[in-house]
């Protein structure tokens, strides 16, 4: 049965990586392999001799357990993993809703109005730093969408936008790695209690910054960033509450780690508090009412209902499928045993470096989910911060390696080989520079 669960994961993951060839959204194989994995465990429950206890993070021997005891153990384990996964998903949905409400009030237009330069080189640095810091507050996927949308309003040439988009991908992934709310994998480590906000920012701030500074320093001398961009006539009407909602929304997202530190409650509670406060302000400013009898009218009139309707549910369900499938393999001790074998044959630093590089091909969500089961180090151990950096930034090396890259690929029609030829080497150099800085710091 162990090999069957592994086979289901491998086949499901192959289907995920081939979603464009199969013309099937990746959430479908993710959900399918989740259900099949747990079904196999349920059917073969009487044949297992060991079980990974998620409460104590250790392997327990269950050879002498009867069927009823094993089923109770299965139900408790499944409920535990689903609860931990739901915490992450609710947190992400809250963050997505806040970002959508900011966009409802055209709040991101305030960022565009701050950009006055026409110099391509200066614009490169401004856009990259905006991506770096914006993705540390909102997630790197949303930061990429926002900045490419802004680029379209200030850079008319599509080839130029492709170059800028390449640097946005690197900067957004680097910016998402050094805060607990900037990337889904870092959020996973934070919510699992593996890293704390203060030490994460302290240890990864400089490596993440170097991750984008090195490519920027080289990119400034490339021919693509010489001269000036043509000016585009500004046709935006703007929203009088745009700037207010932008700053308030970002402040409320930043408030979440503070709330967790003060109350010791799970982060999703703080995110729901921030969302509720932001929704109250949004409804008051919009002077619109919510209709409980006419759902269509509600969506048209209420910024809250409008924003909730625009949440990326396919992404949420994909994370559900991936995380619960990895949890199934962890339950059978597969990940724990693999981690012990790897740690005895390869150095920890080399393993994490290779893990980050593999995230350019393999989605970093299951990689980090698996690493949480592999390593048994204490909270805030250096390895957890190294994993956060490597998994968060390694995906920049290929355009298919991160959510930011995939969305940029779609928005600006960037091909895999164009990115490989023009951006990959820059991303690799930034990745290695950050690793060097991290290893020197610890």
**Is 32 within a domain?**
no
pLDDT at 363: 64
Buried b or exposed e, range 318-327, using 16+ CB within 10 angstroms? bbbbbbbbbb
Which of the listed ranges 286-295, 303-312, 403-412 does the model predict with the highest average pLDDT?
Answer: 303-312
pLDDT value for 353: 92
Q: How confident is the model at residue 10 (pLDDT cuts 50, 70, 90)?
A: confident
- Residue 294 is predicted with a pLDDT of 54
| 77 in any annotated domain | no
Structural domain total, the chain: 1
**Residue 277 above 90 pLDDT?**
yes
Domain assignment present for 38: no
Model pLDDT, residue 298: 46
- Lowest model confidence (mean pLDDT) among 100-104, 108-112, 169-173, 278-282: 108-112
pLDDT at residue 392 is higher than 80: yes
- Is the pTM here over 0.85, yes or no? no
Q: Is pLDDT at 145 greater than 60 in this prediction?
A: yes
Within a domain: 66: no
Among candidates 266, 265, 305, which has minimal Cα distance to 283?
305
When mean pLDDT is compared across 35-49, 146-160, 268-282, the lowest value belongs to 146-160
What pLDDT band is residue 272 in, cutting at 50, 70 and 90?
very high
Q: Could you read off the pLDDT of 409-440 as tens digits, one per residue?
A: 777 888 878 998 999 999 999 999 999 999 99
Domain presence at residue 59: no
Tens-digit pLDDT profile for residues 107-132: 877 777 778 788 999 999 999 999 99
| Cα 413 to Cα 159: distance, rounded to the nearest angstrom | 10
| Of the listed ranges 27-41, 78-92, 401-415, the one predicted with least confidence | 401-415
In a domain, residue 16? The reply is no
Report the share of the chain in percent with pLDDT over 90.
31
Flag whether pLDDT at 402 surpasses 60: yes
Q: Tell me: the pLDDT tens digits for 218-263?
A: 999 999 999 888 766 665 556 788 888 988 988 888 888 888 878 8
Q: Mean pLDDT for the chain? A: 85
Q: Report whether pLDDT(341) > 80.
A: no
Q: Does the pLDDT at position 288 exceed 60?
A: no
* Residue-number span of the structural domain to which 348 is assigned: 89-441
**SS3 per residue for the chain:** CHHHHHHHHHHHHHHHHCHHHHCCCCHHHHHHHHHHHHHHHHHCHHHCCEEEECCCCEEEECCCCCHHHHHHHHHHHHHHHHHHHHHHHHHHHHHHHHHHHHHHCCCCHHHHHHCCCCEHHHHHHHHHHHHHHHHCCCCHHHHHHHHHHHHHHHCCCHHHHHHHHHHHHHHHHHHHHCCCCCCHHHHHHHHCCCCCHHHHHHHHHHHHHHHHHHHHHHHCCCHHHCCECCCCCCCCCCCCCHHHHHHHHHHHHHHHHHHHHHHCCCHHHHHHHHHHHHHHHHHHHHCCCCCCCCHHHHHHHCHHHHHHHCCCHHHHHHHHHHHHHHHHHHHCCHHHHHHHHHHHHCCHHHHHHHHHHHCCCCCHHHHHHHHHHHCCCCCCCHHHHHHHHHHHHHHHHCCCCCHHHHHHHHHHCCCHHHHHHHCHHHHHHHHHHHHHHHHHHC
- 170 assigned to some structural domain: yes
pLDDT at 403 over 80: no
Is 29 within the bounds of a domain?
no
């Amino acid at each position: 049965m162990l090999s069957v669960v592994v086979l289901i994961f491998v086949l499901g993951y192959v289907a995920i990586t081939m979603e464009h060839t199969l013309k099937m959204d990746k959430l479908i194989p993710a959900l399918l392999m989740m259900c099949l994995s747990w079904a196999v465990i349920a059917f073969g429950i009487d044949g297992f001799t060991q079980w990974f206890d998620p409460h104590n993070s250790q392997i327990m021997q269950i050879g002498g357990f009867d069927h009823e005891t094993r089923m109770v153990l299965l139900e408790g384990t499944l409920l535990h993993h689903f609860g931990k996964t739901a915490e992450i998903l609710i947190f992400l949905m809250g963050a997505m809703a806040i970002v959508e409400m900011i966009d409802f009030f055209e709040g991101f237009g305030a960022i565009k109005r701050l950009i006055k330069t026409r110099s391509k080189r200066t614009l490169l640095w401004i856009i990259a730093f905006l991506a770096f810091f914006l993705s540390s507050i909102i997630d790197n996927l949303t930061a990429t969408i926002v900045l490419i949308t802004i680029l379209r309003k200030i850079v008319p040439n599509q080839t130029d936008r492709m170059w800028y988009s390449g640097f946005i991908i690197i900067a957004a992934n680097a910016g998402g790695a050094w805060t607990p709310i900037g990337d889904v994998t870092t959020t996973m480590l934070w919510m699992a209690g593996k890293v704390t906000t203060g030490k994460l920012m302290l240890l990864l701030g400089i490596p993440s910054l170097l991750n984008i500074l090195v490519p920027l320093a080289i990119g400034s001398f490339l021919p693509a960033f010489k001269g000036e961009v043509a000016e585009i006539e500004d046709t935006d009407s703007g929203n009088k509450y745009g700037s207010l909602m932008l700053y308030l929304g970002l402040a409320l997202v930043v408030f979440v780690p503070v709330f967790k530190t003060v109350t010791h409650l799970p982060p999703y509670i703080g995110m729901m508090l921030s969302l509720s406060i932001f929704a109250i302000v949004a409804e008051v400013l919009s002077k619109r009412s919510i209709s409980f009898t006419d759902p269509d009218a509600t969506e048209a009139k209420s910024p809250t209902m409008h924003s909730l309707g625009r949440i990326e549910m396919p992404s949420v369900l994909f994370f559900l499928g991936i995380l619960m499938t990895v949890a199934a393999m962890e339950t059978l001790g597969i990940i724990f045993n693999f981690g012990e074998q790897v740690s005895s044959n390869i150095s920890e630093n080399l393993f994490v470096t290779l893990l980050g590089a593999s995230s350019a091909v393999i989605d970093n969500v299951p990689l980090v989910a698996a690493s949480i089961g592999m390593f048994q180090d204490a909270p805030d151990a250096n390895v957890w911060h190294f994993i956060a950096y490597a998994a968060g930034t390694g995906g920049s090396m290929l355009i298919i390696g991160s959510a930011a890259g995939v969305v940029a690929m779609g928005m600006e029609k960037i091909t895999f080989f164009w990115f490989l030829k023009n951006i990959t080497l820059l991303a690799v150099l930034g990745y290695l520079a950050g690793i060097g800085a991290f290893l020197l710091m610890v």
